[in-house]
Amino acid sequence: MQIAENYTVWQKFCRNKLALAGLIFIGIVTVFAILGYVVCPDNSTYSNRQCIEIAAKKPGFSATFLKIPLNKEKNHSSFLSILLYGKSQQFEYIPINNYHKSGNYIVFTKFSEEKGIGFSDSILLSKLQMRLSNSIKNEEVEKNNIEKVSYLLGTDRFGRDMLSRLIIGSRISLSVGFIAVLLSLVIGLVLGAIAGFFRGWVDSAIMWVVNVTWSVPTLLMVISITMVLGKGFWQVFIAVGLTMWVEVARIVRGQVMSIREKDYIEACRAMGFSNFRIISKHIIPNTLGPVIIISAANFASAILIEAGLSFLGVGVQPPVPSWGNMIKDHYGYIILDKAYLAILPGLAIMLLVLAFTFVGNGLRDAFDSKSVPIQ
């Protein structure tokens, strides 16, 4: 019976094209977020390979780099380590216009877009040299030390790959949403179920806490909690989660107060079941429909709150990429001809929040027993 009901809910959900499109988009973003450094063009830690010479280049820009090995031991990281943290940088990347091998040296001209102005090359384009072994051939140099890189979405103001930063930034948004919603569900389900089941002074005390928390503006409370816990990755997760449980608690309380009067709950009491078993086995499972719907809305809210905190400088700290601090770094470019630097992360936030909103609306219609039945 339960399987048939779930199948009917899924059919109703699939009939909503916007909700289904939102779910597919969330799935695609989640896949890219999980793969992360495996699919990023810049797989260095936090995609933080900076090159000021190519800062704020437009989408489709390409550059040739001379890779100079750093004085580091080679780090043989596992696939899981690369998936989670990326690769440590083993080379210094120098953008160049051209190069040639002359004896024991590689002579190259550093990158510049001003070659046609008419100044002397010896003044405008400095020639740098790197000592190499006599045994190194041109083919080996081109294979090991020369790399051409394309930037599909251009570079930011520090010369970092925008596409890579957006992909790794999606991890932050989805992680904040997931952990904040999970934390709010745990607190909201427990307090809401206790308040609705026991009622009396227990209900009054819990609802007093809920109302006081509800009266404080969410962003102000998150900023206050962040100031207490400190700025950082996990602090944002906890701060956002601790401000979103009140909605879950209110909804669960109302559902529990209705369900506890049902005949099957009275039958459970007559059979001597404990209050814990009645709440956990027979009441909470029947409140999950509205809770799932509010969780989708809270997921979207958590993404917006995290982006707002990062924009204000009290969220995730650089060099960790976050869509919010990417907007903060580039909002000054909006009045220039490079507004896309701020528009791209803003568009990513908008699309992901819109996708969760569509999914939430689709779930609401699917769980609504008064909606049009499946033909």
| φ, ψ of residue 97 in degrees (nearest 5) | -90, -45
pLDDT of residue 282: 85
Per the omega criterion (within 30 degrees of 0), is the bond before 319 cis? Answer: yes
The edge-to-edge listing of strands for the beta sheet with 127-131 is: 127-131, 105-110, 91-102, 61-69, 146-151
Burial class of residue 128 in the structure, from the number of CB atoms within 10 Å of its CB (0-12 exposed, 13-18 middle, 19+ buried): middle
Domains of the chain: 2-29+163-367 (1.10.3720.10), 60-160 (no CATH)
Look at residue 368 and tell me whether its pLDDT is greater than 60.
Answer: yes
What phi and psi, each to the nearest 5 degrees, are found at residue 148?
-100, 125
pLDDT for residue 361: 87
What is d(CA 162, CA 319) in angstroms, rounded to the nearest whole number? 13
List the one residue out of 45, 39, 48 whose CA is nearest residue 87: 45
Residue type, 350: M
DSSP state of 87: B
DSSP class of residue 281 equals I
pLDDT tens, residue by residue, 159-199: 999 999 999 999 999 998 898 889 889 999 999 999 988 88
DSSP 310-330: HHHTSSSPTTS--HHHHHHHH
Would you say 75 and 90 are in contact if contact means Cβ atoms under 8 Å apart? Answer: yes
Which residue in the block uniquely carries the two structure tokens 């033909």? 375
CB atoms within 10 A of CB 267: 11
Q: How high is the pLDDT of residue 140?
A: 59
Asked whether the beta carbons of 130 and 69 are under 8 A apart, the reply is no
Token code pair at residue 360? 């939430």
Distance CA 95, CA 112 (A): 9
The DSSP H or E segment spanning 153 is: none
Q: How far apart are CA 368 and CA 171, in angstroms?
A: 32
Beta bridge partners of 149: 63
Report whether pLDDT(2) > 70. no
Residue closest to 236 by CA, chosen among 346, 300, 313:
313
Determine the number of helices (DSSP H) and then strands (DSSP E) in the chain: 15, 5
Give the pLDDT confidence of 57-106 residue by residue, as tens digits: 989 999 888 887 776 666 667 788 888 888 888 888 888 887 776 666 67
> Is pLDDT larger for residue 241 or for residue 355?
355
pLDDT bin (cut points 50, 70, 90) of residue 31 is very high
Q: How buried is residue 233: exposed, middle or buried, by Cβ count under 10 Å (0-12/13-18/19+)?
A: middle
- β-partners of residue 64 are 96, 148
Q: pLDDT > 70: what percent of the chain? A: 84
- 75 residue type, one letter: N
Residue 6 CA to residue 282 CA, distance in Å, equals 17
With a pLDDT cut of 90, the percent of the chain lying above it is 23
Do the Cβ atoms of 251 and 192 come closer than 8 Å? yes
Average pLDDT, the chain: 81
**Residue (of 66, 67, 60) closest to 151 by Cα position:** 60
User: Among residues 302, 34, 355, 22, which one has the least CA distance to residue 173?
Assistant: 302
pLDDT band of residue 125 (cuts 50, 70, 90) is very low
Is 182 within 8 Å of 241 (Cβ atoms)? Answer: yes
Q: Where are any strands of DSSP class E within 126-267?
A: 127-131, 146-151
Output the pLDDT for position 374. Answer: 42
